[in-house]
Amino acid sequence: MLSRVISGKIRICGIIGDPIEHTMSPLMHNAAFEKMGVAYWYLPFRVKKEALGKAIDGMRALNIKGLNVTIPHKVTVIPFLDKLDRFAERIGAVNTVVNDDGVLTGYNTDASGFLQALLERGIEPTEKKVVILGAGGASRAISFILAERGSNLVILNRTLNKARELADRISQIFQRETEALKLDRENLARALSKADILVNATSVGMYPDIDETPLTADLLSSGLVVFDTVYNPVKTRLLVEAEAVGAKTISGLDMFIWQGALVFEKWTGLKAPVELMREEVIKVL
């Protein structure tokens, strides 16, 4: 990859966040750029909270083509942009900025990446009962896109108030009754007894705490689709236990790859080499 020529035609893309050292996006995107033979480079930029506005000014001044946006900037970047796409506006968070001749538009491909990962596996969430664990940024993106797709949602969170706020907003926007419950064993058992799909949108089970799981295996059943948004490890304890009871499982890696593929397509106008992107990330994980 380092053999790629840096000419005057190079378009620069990248990711802003803090911390940024562990991001896998540069690896994935540079491999995709190389494979598709486009003159793009992708770089990590550590941008502190207080420097966000200057970083976006810099994007305009330097004519940077695209930036991914990660923690802690996904919400606070919005006032610095010119436009938001429909999803990003509803979700209230942006993970990608596209620079079209000086006009900066914010998108949320976390949401569409999640949906794509489901659809790719032949799972259509319309009218399905979906149990979502967590009420943070990831849950928000997933809840909004599922509600729009016509799923019936139950949101469980350790902090009940945050689940309530999210559920109320969804009920209001989509006119869909959305239940909010405290994340405990009793509520989980009740919600899961009627569920088609379970989504873990908490950080429980993420490296280095790989022995943790948001629920015990006895609550899982073979008819469930279990989607874990955690992608490191690729197979979390939740997914291993779900597989053991015969449930269909989807790793957060699929969501990560698809959000990246959708970003690639926005920046280059080309179809993303999804399989290569997946292989590159798996090599490192």
The residues binding ligand ATR (CB under 6 A) are: 134-139, 157-159, 162, 183, 201-204
CA distance 252 to 250: 7
Q: Which helix (H) or strand (E) holds 237?
A: helix 237-244
Type of residue at 109:
T
CA distance 215 to 165: 23
3-state helix, strand, coil in the chain (%, to 5): 45, 20, 35
> Which residue has 């969804």 as its token pair?
170
Catalytic residue (one of 65, 74, 128, 235)? 74
Q: Which is nearer to ligand ATR, 124 or 209 (CB)?
A: 209
CB of 87 to ligand ATR, least distance (A): 16
Type of residue at 57:
D
CB of 161 to ligand ATR, least distance (A): 9
CB of 138 to ligand ATR, least distance (A): 4
Q: Which is nearer to ligand ATR, 28 or 163 (CB)?
A: 163
Q: Which residue is nearest to ligand ATR (CB)?
A: 136
232 phi, psi to nearest 5 deg: -130, 105
Question: Catalytic annotation on 74?
Answer: yes
CA distance 188 to 144: 21
Judged on CB neighbours under 10 Å (0-12, 13-18, 19+), 214 is buried
Q: Which is nearer to ligand ATR, 116 or 139 (CB)?
A: 139
CB of 188 to ligand ATR, least distance (A): 11
- The set of catalytic residues is 74
